[in-house]
Amino acid sequence: MYAVNGNLTAVDGKVEELKGYLLDASKHMNDLENCYCYLVGENEDDPNSVYIVEIWEDKAAHEASLQLDVFRDLIEKAKPIIAGMNNFPTVNVIGGKLIGR
């Protein structure tokens, strides 16, 4: 398995819109069998940021998802309201618990 996580910082006043785009993306993840987890979260100490945790079958599955029209469209819509991004190290999962896996 392959895990991706990071956070996106919204332009002032746009964090709710950004959350909406990411939550919309999460609905489409249900159609992808090789996406095991897609979580959108927030941190009260960092109110302009939205955190994302993704777990995929492998790196290729994640990269392929970024080429799907639905996600490319969402990315294009969100770009103007993203002030910054922090991608944390990706990891190859070697064990642990994931419901349904």
| Topology of domain 2-90, CATH | Alpha-Beta Plaits (3.30.70)
Long-range contacts of 40-48 (CB under 8 A, 24+ apart): 46/7, 46/9, 47/15, 48/9, 48/10, 48/12, 48/15, 48/83
Answer yes or no: is pLDDT of 101 > 80.
Answer: no
Q: Binning pLDDT at 50, 70 and 90, where does residue 91 land?
A: confident
Segment 59-80 shows an average pLDDT of 93
**Segments making up each domain of the chain, as ranges:** 2-90
What the block records as the tokens of 76 is 């294009």
Question: In this predicted model, what pLDDT tens digit does every residue of 12-49 receive, in sequence order?
Answer: 999 999 999 999 999 988 889 999 999 999 999 999 99
Mean pLDDT for the stretch of residues 88-101: 79
Confidence at residue 98, expressed as pLDDT on a 0 to 100 scale? 76
CB under 8 Å to 91, separation ≥6 — which residues?
2, 3
